[in-house]
Every structure is written in C-alpha cells, then in structure tokens.
A and B are shown apart, each in its own frame.
Chain A
Amino acid sequence: MSDKKPVSNDTPAQRVLIIGAGIAGMQAALDIADAGHEVLLVERLPSIGGRMAQLSETFPTLDCAQCILTPRTVEVGHHEQIQLLTHAEIESIEGEVGDFRVRIRRRAAYVDWDLCTGCGLCQEKCPGRALSDFERGTGERAAIYTLSPQAVPNKPIIDREHCIHFLRDRCGACAKLCPVGAIDFEQQDAFVEADCDAIILATGYDIYGLDRMAEYGGGKIPDVIDALAFERLLSSSGPTAGQVRRPSDGRVPSEVVFIQCAGSRDPQKHLSYCSKVCCMVAAKQATLYRHRVHNGQAYVFYIDIRAAGKGYDEFTQRAMEDEQVVYVRGKVSRLFRDSDRVLVMGADTLTNRQVQIAADLVVVAPALRSHPETVRLAQMLSLPTDRHGWLLPLNENVHPVETSRPGVFLAGTGTGPMDIPETVAHASGAAAQVLKLFANPCRQR
C-alpha cells in the first residue's frame, strides 16, 4: 500500500450548469451527478436527447438509437441530483469560476407542466397541423405537441404559429379536453436565476440546410432530401414507421443516390472542413435502405471514403460487398427533376467517364455546422471560436475540453463534428475536469 492518505469523501456538493442536453450534455450530467454534485441541465428544445433522438439505427453495430438512448433520457429525467430546465434559454451569465450567476428564460409552453400528467389527449384531438421539425419535414404534428412519445419530460408545448386559438381565437379543444386543466393560453415566459460553480457547453451541431445549396435543388425538389430527413424515414418511430417511402408520391424508391460532402470540403462555395460523420452515415443508410428494400440499388458519390474508427472500414466494405452499394468516386455536377425522377449527372474520376443516374430518391449528406446559438453563447462568455463558429479548446492537443476561461468546459460536437462514441468520451472528459475542480474548490485550474 502507498503511504499516501486517501482524501475524505465529504467535499461539499457544488453545482454545474450544463447547456444543451444532447448525448454529450446528458453524459456529462450523469457523470457529475452520480459523483454527488448538483447539475442544472438547460435545453432549448422541449425535451432532451438532441440529434441522437432523431436517428434510426447507429453505425457501426446498427443498434436502434431510441433503444439505447431512452435508458439515458429516463435516467437523466429521474436523477435526484439533476434539475432539468427544458424549453429554456440562457439570457445571461456573469461571474467567474466558483461563482457564476445565470439568468435563464423558460419559454412559455402554454401548458402548466406542474399540472400536466402527459396523458397525450390534447395532442390526439388538436386540429392544428404543422410540418414537424423533429421529423425534418417528413411528417406532421399537432399544434400542441411533444417531440416524441418517449419524450423526457413528456409534457407538450403549444406552437403559437399553428394553434387555431392563437391564430383565430377559436378552437380551445385542448383546454376543454385536458383532464387536469393544464392548458394556460395566458402563460408568459418565466425567468429563473441560478448560481453555479462551473459551466459545460454542450450545444451540439446544426445542419447546413439544403436551401443553401442551389446545386442540389435548393430544397425545392421533393425527392431530394438531406440525410437527417432520411434518418426519419428509416426510423421505426418515424412518420413512415421505418418504411422507405419517398416524399413526393409515397412510392418505395428502387434507385437511391447518396451525395457526399454536400457543403463540406468546399472552401470556395461553402465550408472548408470535412464533416467527419457523413461517410459512415451514408454507408449505414445505404445498408439500412437495402435491409428495407431488398432489390433496391444504392449509389454513393464521394471524394474520399472516410471510415476511420473501430470496425468502420469493415462496415463500409460490407456495404459494398454484401449490399452491392455502388461507390462512384466523383462529384455530382448537376441534378434536376425529370418527370417523376431526379436525374443525377456526375463524373466518375476513376474511369474518367460521365455517369448519369435516374434516381427515385436523392439523399444529400449535409455538412454539420456550428449551432448559431453556440456562437451567441461563446460571445456571452468571451470564448474563442474558429471562423466557422466551432468552439476552440484551450489547447488542441493536451487540453481538448478546457477553455481559455477557468471553470468553463466543452463537451461534444460544439467543438466540431464527432460521432457518438467520440462525443461521449469527450463529454466524460469534460465531467472529469469539473469533478477535479469541485474536489479542490479554491483551486482555479
């Protein structure tokens, strides 16, 4: 045994603010809360889970995202040491390590969540309709809604823009039906002030929209969709219950073209960096498509196949060999609607030939980009970002989760594109820095 004396385990509980409740924010929250400290977890959306909640199955082992995610969301939702504030935004942060003061705006849900039991009656009967952001436009939702049936918390919000009560002062069906009288059309935004000792930014990424890419139809061709929308079509909890049906006419597509690096690796017109995950996403989606549509043919236009990770290259090989996915090395030069199909023209740089494919569905792998909210928060905290808005760590190599500001740490894809395992490890890394700080309350890094 070493003669060094073990520490006492009774350092006072301290509190960390975690902004963003994707898989990164949740992982950091659980690591810190399980070590006995308090966590205030603030999420912009009405429920937690982030992008992972939208995914179908995950590479490289194809487990269903919801299935592995819900145990975590439930654990976060019920943890005694974690206080969840969803549908909420950071208004301001002042102070410094050991003494941050935060002001948080809880946006009006028009539902009293303390009363609501999450029975779902209101959503069932609501006549208001809107395209669902969560379904990435592939499906609809009511004007009063939760993101998914397994949402944590499972409490609805009313979308004023599509609610008939707010639009035309009629309806009120939800208010009449709600068994506990939770609907409150007069609800206002509320403000919460909190003190905390440290902060973790886990605000994740956003998607570079098709509307920015005229070369791929600018989002105006119904059967040209982005990879996140395709995740919803593949998901058994999505609008098509996991059947691949194309948006225009609901037909099952028999030829699908995947276009890689859309908006990525294009310093002239779009973004200069590589978005890291999309090569694997395409291999996964092409595989899943073939699992759903056995005689379907998938093509992938790529520049380099970036499958670097445990089992990743092998996974891509299997997509090529077992699922007969045709990989075409080259850029798509043009794409347009041709009667009920989409004509994709490109060059195969390996054979130096022009290729032309009449596709039933085109799936574009959009760049991952920094969340605009991240930039706002970075400014609020005077943290450096790169020219694309990604958060920069204190040192690229040896301080990947610390920032130039003591007590402020980074977790997950706010710092740049990453897949889930890398995100989770990174988030636990941020948790370690917080636990370390909390073990030495007076020490500042």
Chain B
Amino acid sequence: MARIGVFVCHCGLNIAGTVDVERVIEAVRDHPDVVHAADYKYLCSDPGQSLIQDAIETRELDGVVVAACSPSMHEATFGRAAAEVSLNPYRLEIANIREQVSWPHQREPEAATRKAIEVVRTLVEKVSGNEELSPLELPITRRALVVGGGIAGMTAALDIGDAGYPVLLVERSERLGGHMAEHSQLYLNLDAGDDLLRQRVEAVHNHPHVEVLTGTQVVALDGYVGNFTAQVRADYIGNTEEEDGDTRHEDVGAIVLATGFDLYDMGRLPEYGGDRYPDVVDSLQFESMLRDNAVRRPSDGRVPEEVVWVQCAGSRDPEQHQPYCSKICCMYVAKQIIAYRRAVPQGQAYVFYIDIRSQGRGYDEFVQEAMEEHDALYLRGKVSKIAPHGGRLAVWGVDTLVGNSVRVSADLVVLATAAVPSAGTEDLARRTRAATDESGFLSEAHPKLRPVESLTAGIYLAGGCQFPKDIPETVSQASGAAAKVLRLFAKDEMTQEPTVAYLVEELCSGCGTCVEICPYEARELHPYLAVATVNPALCQNCGACLVACPNKATSVHNWTPKQILAMADAVV
C-alpha cells in the first residue's frame, strides 16, 4: 500500500478563486493510498515547500501529488524540495489545476472543482505506479558550431572561443561581416563601422580556437544536445540534394544559429517603382553609396539635392506585405540623413513615416538631431505613388498631420524596405529542427524569459535571424547565446529526463513499426539482433511507439499501460 500525500495550492485567488479547494481535499482524503492531504495559499513559496517537506518526513510519504500550476513552472521546485528530504522526485507528480482548470473555467466554479478532483485523483493513481528513477547522464562534445558569420555569429564565436572551447564558424558567402560590412557609419556616435568590424573579423581569423569555413553551409543535422553531428558542405546551393564528396561530418555539442536577415525585394513593391526607376533604391544600396563616398544618382551620376526616404516600405502592412514593424529602419534612416547631409551639405531630406520608432537611451534625441540640425522634413503619411517627372521623381503622399495630399520632387528615393529572414532560413530550420514563427524568423523558446534559446535543446539564436534588431541588441543577444553554450559546456555530463520509452526484448519481434512511427528518430532496429532499440537521448516521451507496437513490447517509464488504465479508471 502506497503512502501518498496530496497538496493543493490556492495560488492566491488564481486557483482558489474558482476551484473549491476544500472539496478537492475532501474528495481525495478517503482514497486508500492517500494518507495526508493539505492546502496552502502559495505552495511554491518557501513556507509552502517546507510544509510539503515536513509532511513527507513526519507522515513517511512515499509519493506526492502537488495540485498547482503547470509543471513547466514548478516541477523543478517541488522535485528539488522532495529530493532534499529523500523522496525520489519521480515519485512526485504535478496536477495542473491552474492553466488546465481554474483559468479556462473561470466562470464555472462547479465544473472547475469537479475537473480538479478528477485530475488530482488521476495523478494519485499514476504516482502510486511510478518507479523511482534517476536522470540519465550523457557525455558532451565541448565544441560549438556557429552558423552565419555576421556580427552576431562572429560575436558568439569569439565569446565561446575566448572561453577556450573550439568553435566551427560556417558562413555561406565568401566573407565574414554580414550586413555590417555594407554599412557606412553607425548610430549613435557615427562610429566608423568598418574599424569595429575589421577588428572583429581579424580576431575571428586569428583566433586559435575558431575555425572558419566560408562558402559553406550546413546541409544536415543529426543527434541531440551535447552530441550533434552536422554535415557541412562547401558551395552548397539551395535544395539540390546531389551527392557531394565535399561534405564534412562535424561533431559538436551546441549550435548557434546566426543567419541574419535580408531586405524585402523592391520588385514586390510595384507602387514605389523600385524595379523600374533607377533612382529608386533600397536602404542598403544607399548605405553603400554613403560608404563609398559616392552619393550619386544611379541614372546619371548627378549628386542628388533632394532625397525622399519612404519608411515602412513593405512593413506594417498585413494586407499586402509584412504585418510586422521591422524595428531597425526608423533609426538607420535618421543616420542616413545625417550622413547624407555631411556628404551633401546643401541637400534636403524628406521622410514619409507612420510612427517614428526611436526608443531607448539617446535614440529619440538622435532623430531630433536629424530634424533640427539637418533640417530633415518628416511628413507623417503614406506614399501612394512614385513616378518619373522631367528627369526627376514625383512622390505623391498624404500628410496626415495637415490633412493635405502632398507632392515632393526628388532626385533620389530611398526605400526603407522591410527586413525579412535571410534566404534559406526556412530550409535551415527544417534541417536543424529549429522552429520558425509565422513570419519565417526563428522562434525563441519563450518570448520573454528565454529569448536566445530555440525550441530545440542545445540550439541557440543570435541576431537578425530571430527578429530584426540593431547592432547593439544583436551583439548582446549573441553574447547571451554564447553564455548558454558556456553554461552547457561547463557541466561534466548532461542530464536528460529518464521518463523515456524502453523495450521488453522478449516480446519484441523486430517488426520495425516503432521505427516507422517515432517522430524523433529515437527508434532503430538493432544491427544484428532481431529487436528494436531506443535512443533515450532522442526520445521525447510522446508515447507513439507504445500505442503502435503490435506486441506490447514497448513501454514508457512511469507511463506504463497499467498506470494509464488505472488513471482512466479514476475518472469514471
């Protein structure tokens, strides 16, 4: 007979405001295995944890059910508290009665209470069948792969390399630097981007621990956190899957994806004529004019005396283009204006904008400087049409502040086109099992608290590939990704949840059904024994194999068919 304790958390009013906690306690008290039941306002607080620990010791509990918030919140908290008083943490289960019960059923307290009782009862059944387990320990390859050699990738590679670990940096193009290599000066101080970049590129090339492969891409990735094998191939183009002798297999323990962004193709903005009129350029083209000290019209080489910037070109337009704001353009436009006026002091700058987004220390002041000291005319409104007119360009728009439509004649038009994921991001995501969001940028593990981790353990994100961001933010995020790698490599061994599938060999016929069905490639047929195998490091505990196995030879630790049946019985 098990000795199980049940603890129900109020979570302030988050749970107790909806669920009748008293009734939950009463309903489980008479279960033959439950020897203790208690509630508390915040079980995750220090006193709450002590309450559980005290009961484990004084009532000699051998299993615990904590009814509280989602296990993703506090499973670790309660597991550690149990372990401190020598209860195996796998003999503790969390019943999620907040995210799954009290929140969705806020207006139906009766239904919520009944559901809470069911969930708790089910987990009481489960925990009585749980084995005592300990985490699996796996070795780590202490070498990192960084994909993309822009400022993000270089920064991550240097931080990891400086800490003494070997790094392989793979860059698709023939040179390092990414878009930063195309920039003129950088806001806020109009530092020469070149000098800063050159130092970094040199540091990467001269680093004893960093190996650089340019003109190279990642074509496949196997393995799991701590033990990946990447296939990298030189001159790999797009999706062509032909055999190639040049493929290298590289063992690495962690991966930083830093593949950056591209600009939205001007050809997709016919209303602005970017593909038709030579004097309509995108912001990177203008950036290189500034950089080369050659601010001239592509059509006739004249110095443009009136320049119009069109902001949000392709951004913030859910109907036709990208729904999101590209974040970086408001600031670089102000910078381009200041740089333009330094190059062409008599020049006049106009900007069409919706909102000016220049937030943070010093940013708004910088835009003010463009307006006040460089006489830039900011017009709030959308550009409706751009057309050639007597050797120049006529820009029609509405000034929403004055309420008039306006027409500005320009020698040159610069489109601040949307920043989009760099070509091939989707493909790379597929190959590395990193997810993308609805706009095609790589998804972070949690939008607030895990901004540099991908959804796959051991794969981290840096820079524009996650979402457009400027250099300061890119660099700190890249260092952040490096910190995660260093944190992983500092461990002697990696631990992995032991609640994975296992095989009863006597029952297995080697039919391979599980190999087919497993979505995580965790099942394989044994090379010469006629049985299947489980790679515990890859198993995600989804249970697909358990259901599929015709011989009932597969089971999952702490999710055995016997437990599942007992749990189902608890509900009826």
A-to-B contact residues, CB < 8 Å: 1-2, 4-7, 9, 23, 27, 31, 34-36, 58, 60-61, 63-64, 67-68, 70-72, 74-75, 77-78, 117-120, 149-154, 236-237, 241-242, 265, 267, 272-277, 279, 304-314, 317, 349-352, 386, 388, 390, 395-401, 415-418, 420-422, 424-433, 435-436, 439-440
Contact = CB atoms under 8 A, between A and B. Distances in A.
Nearest to B248: A1
A277 B193 CA distance: 28
B346 interface: no
Contacts of A386: 361-362
A429 to B, nearest CB: 3
B475 interface: yes
B467 interface: yes
A165 B360 CA distance: 46
Given A397-B196, A424-B451, A432-B486, 13 more contacts: A2-B250, A4-B166, A27-B449, A117-B47, A118-B46, A118-B50, A152-B46, A236-B12, A305-B355, A306-B355, A308-B357, A426-B476, A431-B480
Residue of A7, A242, A314, A397 with most partner-chain B CB within 10 A:
A397
5 tightest A-B CB contacts, nearest first: A416-B361, A428-B480, A429-B479, A7-B164, A276-B359
A237 to B, nearest CB: 5
Given A117-B50, A313-B316, A314-B323, A273 B448 contact: no
B77 interface: yes
Contact of A310 (B17, B358, B467, B478): B467
Nearest to B209: A4
Interface in B449-506: 449-452, 466-467, 471-473, 475-484, 486-487, 489-492
A418 B69 CA distance: 29
A38 B80 CA distance: 20
6 contacts: A4-B208, A7-B164, A71-B76, A150-B42, A307-B355, A398-B196
Interface residues of B, number: 93
Nearest to B441: A310
Given A72-B449, A74-B74, A306 B357 contact: yes
B449 A350 contact: no
A119 B45 CA distance: 11
B324 interface: yes
Contacts of A395: 191, 196
A386 B362 CA distance: 9
Residue of B69, B467, B479, B491 with most partner-chain A CB within 10 A:
B479
Nearest to A279: B359
B360 A435 contact: no
A304 B208 CA distance: 48
A265 B357 CA distance: 12
Residue of A7, A60, A317, A428 with most partner-chain B CB within 10 A:
A428
Contact of A421 (B76, B155, B447): B447
Contact of B447 (A118, A151, A310, A436): A310
A273 B362 contact: yes
A350 B41 contact: no
Residue of A74, A308, A388, A420 with most partner-chain B CB within 10 A:
A308
Contacts of A306: 355, 357-359
A425 B41 contact: no
Contacts of A153: 46
Contacts of A390: 361
Interface string B343-387: 000000000000111111111110010000000000000000000
A435 B162 CA distance: 9
B447 A439 contact: no
A274 B165 CA distance: 40
A436 B489 CA distance: 12
Contact of B360 (A78, A120, A418, A433): A418
B479 A401 contact: yes
A274 B143 CA distance: 42
A428 B478 CA distance: 9
Contacts of A275: 359
A308 B359 CA distance: 9
Given A149-B41, A313-B316, A70 B487 contact: no
A376 to B, nearest CB: 19
Contact of A151 (B45, B188, B325): B45
Nearest to B49: A74
Given A9-B142, A241-B13, A432-B482, A421 B46 contact: no
Nearest to A119: B47
Given A6-B142, A352-B403, A432 B441 contact: no
B320 interface: no
